[in-house]
Structure 1
Amino acid sequence: MSHFTTKNDYIELSPALNEDDEPPDIRRDQYSLEGKRSASIHRASMEALLEEATHLEPNPASHPWRLIVQSLPSLIISLIGLVVAGVLMDEYQHWQVFVNTSELFILLPILLNLKGNLEMILASRFSTSANMGELDYGSSRKSLMLGNLALLQVQALVAGAIAGLASFALGVLTRPDTGGSYYESVYMTACSMVSASFSSAILGVFMCALILICRQYRINPDNIACPLASATGDVVTLILLAGCAMILQDHMETLMSTFVFLSMLLAVPFFGVIVWRNKRIKQLLFAGWTPIVIAMVISSLAGVVLEHYVEKYKGIALLTPVLIGVAGNLGSIYVSRISTCLHQDTEEDYASVERALFLMNIPVQAIFLLIIWAFNMGDLDYNFWFFLTYMMVNLICTFICLKVGKWMTLSFWKMGYDPDNYVIPYLTATIDAIGTVLLVATFSLLTSSGASNMQMPAQPTN
C-alpha cells in the first residue's frame, strides 16, 4: 500500500514507531541547496503520484464497517461508564461528606463537564497527530506527549479552580441562609483542583498510551479515543473528588485546604513554563479557553433546568446523562474524523459515516434500556410509549449532534481555527441543553396525555 504526503504535511502510516529518527519536515530545514533541488524534484514526482492516486479505489480503512467494528465496543464501554458514574452519584448523595457540604453536588456536574471537554479535546488533537504521522518518530512523539500532558495539567488546574469557585458561589446564591466562609470556599476549590489535576494525569497518560497502541495496530484512534476519554473521565474524577473531599473535610477549619490550594496554584506556572518551551504546543497555551468557559455556562443552564425537574419526573437524573452522553460521544467521533481529514487534505465520506454513527446509536441505547428495565432502575413506568418516546428523543439528539458537529467543524476550519481545540466543547454543551429540554418536554407530554405516568410520587408530609 502506498501512502503520500500532501502540501507541507508529512503523513507516515507505517505501524513501526521509530525511536531515533526525525520526521522529514525537521530534517528538510537542514538541506543544502543540492538537497533542496532534489526535494523539489521529489515533490513534483509526488504530485504526479497524487494526481494518479485520485483515480484509485477508496482506502478500505475508511469503510463504514471498519468504523462500526472499531467504534461500537468503545461506545458500549462509554455507556457502562455513564451508568457507573450515575450509580456513584446516587450513592454519594448519602455519604456524610456530601450531606455536610451540599455544594459538592453543585460542583459535580460543572467539574465533570469541564474535565470531560479537556480530555476529549486531548483525544481529538492527539488522534490527529497520530494520523498525521507525527507520533511515528521518537523526537516528535516525546515532545508532543510531554507538551500535551503539561498543557492538560494547566487546563485542568485552571478549570478546577473555576469549577470550585463557581460551585461555592452558586451554593451561596441558592442557599443564602447557610452563608459561606473562607475555609469552605478554599475547601471547595482545593478539592476541585486536586481531583481535576490527578484525574488528568491518570487519563492523559492513558489516552496517550491508547492512541499509540492504536497507531501500532493500524486502528484509527478517531473512532475510539473520545468515547473512552469520556467514559473513564467521569468515573475517575468522581472517585478522586469523593476521596479528596473526605480527607480534607476533617481539616476544613484549619489551613490544610489553603496549603493544598496554594500548592495547586503554584503548579500552574510550573506546567505553563513546560508548555511555553515546547515549540509544538506553546501556541495552545492561550488558545481554546473561550469555548471551554462558554460550554460550562451553557451546561450549567442545562443543569438548572435538570435540577428544577429532577424532583418532578421519575428517571430524569438517570436518563439524561446517558442520552446526552452517547449522542455527544458519537458527535465527537465525527468531529475528530473530519478534523483529521481536514488536516490531511483528504475527503471524509460524510453520508456513509453519518449513517453508520446514527445507526450505532440504536443498539447502544437498546442495551441501556435493557439494563435499566432488568434492574428496575429509576422506578420508571416501563411501557411501550416510554420506550418509543425515549428512542425518538435519542435519535433526534443524535441527528442534531452529527449535523451540528459537521457544520461547526467545517466552519471553524474555514475561519482559521483548529477544530480539535474548539468544536467539542460547543457541541457537547449544545447537546446538553437540547437533550435536557427535549427529555423534560417528552416526560411532560407522556404524563399529561396519560400514556405513561412519569410523575414523581408525592412526598409524605409529617
Structure 2
Amino acid sequence: MQALPSLIISVFGLIIAGFIMDEFQHWDVFTETSELFILLPILLNLKGNLEMNLAARLSTSANLGELDYGPTRRSLVVGNLALLQVQALVAGALAGIASFALGLVTKPGRPTSFYESMYMTSSSMVSASVSSAILGLFMCALVILSRRFHIDPDNIACPLASATGDIVTLVVLAACAYILRGHMDSLFSTAVFLAMSAMLPLFGFIVWKNKHVNHLLFSGWTPIICAMIISSLAGIVLEEYVEEFKGVALLTPVLIGLAGNLGSIYASRISTCLHSKTKEDYQLVEWTLMIMNFPVQLVFLLLIWRFNMGQLDYNGWFFLTYFVVSMICTWICLKTAKFMTLGFWKLDYDPDNYVIPYLTASIDVVGTVLLVASFSWLTSSGATNMAIDSSATTVATPSPS
C-alpha cells in the first residue's frame, strides 16, 4: 500500500525522463557531441546511486529512531548533504572524464581538444552538484515527513529519489551543455571546472567534522567507481543503438529505472532489518514486488500507447516482448538485491552504502542489452518494425543549437 503509489509516481517521472531524453537526442548540442549519450547513463546512474544511498541511510536512521531527536536530526541532515556534494563533485568529474575517454575509444580518429574534455567534465560536475543540492534537500524532507506520518521510508524513498533524480539531472545537464557549448573554444569551461573543484575542500571539511558521516568520507568510493565503469557499458550500447531502434531513449529509463527501484526497495528493507535485528519475509516481499511490477508497467504502456510516444509501431508482439523483458529484469534485480545485501552484511560492510550502486549499474547493462536484443528480434522476425527509417532522419526539424 505504501510502495505502489510511489512506484506509480516514479513511472510518471521516468516517462518524463524518457521523453526528455528522446527530445534531447535531436538537439544540436547532443548530435554534435555524441559523448553526451555516453555520459547520460553514467551520470544518471551515479546520481541515482548517491541519492538512493542517501535515502537508504536516512531510512535506516529513521527506523532506528535517530531522526526523532532535533540536534541529531540536524547533524545527520547537514552531514549527509555535505557528503552528497563531495560525492557528486568527484563522481561528476569522473563521469565527464570517462565519457570523453570512451568517446575517443569508440570513435577513434574523431578530432578532439582540451577544450572539449573540459566541456564534458565541467558540464558533468555542475549537473551533479546542482541536482544533488536539490534532490538532497528533497530526500531529507521526504524521510523526515515519512517518519512523522508513520510511513516506512524504505518503501517510498528510493523510487522517488530515482525518478526525480533522472528528471532534474537531465534538465540540468542539458542546460549546462547548452550554455557551455557556446564557450567551447575558450577557457570558460576550465574556469567552471576549477571553481567546482575549489568547493571540494569546504564540503570535505564539513563532513570531516561531522561524527555521523565522517567515516564515509574515504570509504564507499569503490562501489561508486565500479558502478560508473559498469554503467559505461550501458552508455556504449545506448550510443550505438539510440539512432538504430525507435523508442530506445524513451523505454530504457523506465525499464531499468522501475526494476532498479523495486530492487532498491528490497535492498533497503533488508538492510534496515539487519541493522534493527528483525526478520524479513523474503519470499513474500519478492512476490509482492514482482506482482507490483505488472500494474505499474501496464500504466506506462497505456500512457505511451495513448499519446503515441516514441513513434513506435504498437502491436501485441511489442507489448508482450517488452513485458517479458521487464519481468526478467525485475526478477534478476530482486534476486541480486537479496544476495548482495546479505553478502555485504556478512563481510561487515554496510549495505546502505554498497549494494545500490552495484545493483543499479548491473541492471542498467542487463536491461539495456535485453531491450536492444528484443528490438532486434522483433525487427528481424517481422513481428514489428522497430528500426528507425534512415530516410526520415535526413529531414531534420529545427532544434536549439
**TM-score scaled to structure 1, two decimals?**
0.81
- Match in the other structure for 1:425: 357
Q: 1:451 to 1:191 in 2, by over 3 A?
A: closer
Q: Is the 8 A contact 1:191 1:244 kept in 2?
A: yes
Q: 2:187 aligns with which of 249, 255, 259?
A: 255
- Match in the other structure for 1:101: 33
Q: Is the 8 A contact 2:99 2:232 kept in 1?
A: no
- Match in the other structure for 2:399: none
**Relative contact order: is structure 1 or structure 2 higher (C-alpha 8 Å, sep ≥ 6)?**
2
Q: 2:307 aligns with which of 366, 375, 389?
A: 375
Q: Does 1:320 align with 2:320?
A: no
- Match in the other structure for 1:56: none
Q: Does 1:231 align with 2:151?
A: no
Spell out, residue by residue over 1:279-322, the C-alpha distance to the aligned partner (whole angstroms, 9 max, x if none): 11111111111111111111211222233333333323322221
Q: 1:217 to 1:224 in 2, by over 3 A?
A: same
CA displacement at 1:100 relative to structure 2:
4.2
User: Secondary structure of 1:346's match?
Assistant: coil
Q: 1:287 aligns with which of 202, 219, 232?
A: 219
Q: Is the 8 A contact 1:71 1:224 kept in 2?
A: yes
Q: Does 1:112 align with 2:44?
A: yes
- Match in the other structure for 1:166: 98
Q: Does 1:74 align with 2:6?
A: yes
**Rounded Cα–Cα distance in structure 1 between residues aligned with 2:212 and 2:393:** 63
- Match in the other structure for 1:83: 15
Q: 2:177 aligns with which of 225, 239, 245?
A: 245
Counterparts of residues 62-461 of structure 1 (less than 5 Å): 69-459=1-391
Give the counterpart letter for 1:391 in structure 2: F
Give the counterpart letter for 2:192 in structure 1: V
Structure 1 stretch displaced more, 433-442 or 416-425 = 433-442
Percent of aligned positions with the same letter in both sequences? 70
Structure 1 stretch displaced more, 128-137 or 79-88 = 79-88
Spell out, residue by residue over 1:404-424, the C-alpha distance to the aligned partner (whole angstroms, 9 max, x if none): 101110110011000000001
Q: Is the 8 A contact 2:18 2:252 kept in 1?
A: no
User: Secondary structure of 2:45's match?
Assistant: helix
**Rounded Cα–Cα distance in structure 2 between residues aligned with 1:103 and 1:202:** 25
Q: Is the 8 A contact 1:214 1:220 kept in 2?
A: yes
Spell out, residue by residue over 1:206-253, the C-alpha distance to the aligned partner (whole angstroms, 9 max, x if none): 100110000000000000000110111111111112222233333333
Give the counterpart letter for 1:430 in structure 2: S
Give the counterpart letter for 1:258 in structure 2: T
- Match in the other structure for 1:15: none
Give the counterpart letter for 1:453 in structure 2: N
CA displacement at 1:99 relative to structure 2:
4.0
Structure 1 stretch displaced more, 281-290 or 214-223 = 281-290
Give the counterpart letter for 1:351 in structure 2: Q
**Rounded Cα–Cα distance in structure 1 between residues aligned with 2:82 and 2:289:** 33
- Match in the other structure for 1:33: none
User: Secondary structure of 1:296's match?
Assistant: helix
Q: 1:306 to 1:222 in 2, by over 3 A?
A: same
Spell out, residue by residue over 1:368-392, the C-alpha distance to the aligned partner (whole angstroms, 9 max, x if none): 1101111222232222222122111
User: Secondary structure of 2:219's match?
Assistant: coil
- Match in the other structure for 2:397: none
**Rounded Cα–Cα distance in structure 1 between residues aligned with 2:5 and 2:289:** 13
Q: Is the 8 A contact 2:38 2:238 kept in 1?
A: no
**Rounded Cα–Cα distance in structure 1 between residues aligned with 2:108 and 2:125:** 25
User: Secondary structure of 2:2's match?
Assistant: helix
Spell out, residue by residue over 1:22-41, the C-alpha distance to the aligned partner (whole angstroms, 9 max, x if none): xxxxxxxxxxxxxxxxxxxx
Give the counterpart letter for 1:219 in structure 2: I
Give the counterpart letter for 1:148 in structure 2: N
Which one has a bigger Cα radius of gyration?
1
CA displacement at 1:97 relative to structure 2:
3.2
**Rounded Cα–Cα distance in structure 2 between residues aligned with 1:304 and 1:461:** 21
Q: Is the 8 A contact 1:172 1:179 kept in 2?
A: no
Q: Is the 8 A contact 2:50 2:87 kept in 1?
A: yes
CA displacement at 1:102 relative to structure 2:
3.5
Structure 1 stretch displaced more, 431-440 or 138-147 = 431-440
**Rounded Cα–Cα distance in structure 2 between residues aligned with 1:374 and 1:192:** 35
- Match in the other structure for 1:12: none
Q: Which runs of no fewer than 5 residues in structure 1 stay unpaired?
A: 1-68
Give the counterpart letter for 2:11 in structure 1: L
**Rounded Cα–Cα distance in structure 1 between residues aligned with 2:175 and 2:363:** 30
Q: 1:254 to 1:456 in 2, by over 3 A?
A: closer
Q: Is the 8 A contact 1:334 1:406 kept in 2?
A: yes
Give the counterpart letter for 2:25 in structure 1: Q
**Rounded Cα–Cα distance in structure 1 between residues aligned with 2:7 and 2:385:** 30
CA displacement at 1:140 relative to structure 2:
1.2
Computed over aligned residues only, the root mean square deviation of the Cα atoms, in angstroms, reads: 1.8
Q: Which runs of no fewer than 5 residues in structure 2 stay unpaired?
A: 395-401
Q: 1:313 to 1:181 in 2, by over 3 A?
A: closer
**Rounded Cα–Cα distance in structure 2 between residues aligned with 1:94 and 1:389:** 27
CA displacement at 1:167 relative to structure 2:
1.9
Structure 1 stretch displaced more, 344-353 or 438-447 = 438-447
Counterparts of residues 38-77 of structure 1 (less than 5 Å): 69-77=1-9
CA displacement at 1:461 relative to structure 2:
10
Q: Is the 8 A contact 2:60 2:272 kept in 1?
A: yes
**Rounded Cα–Cα distance in structure 2 between residues aligned with 1:249 and 1:456:** 28
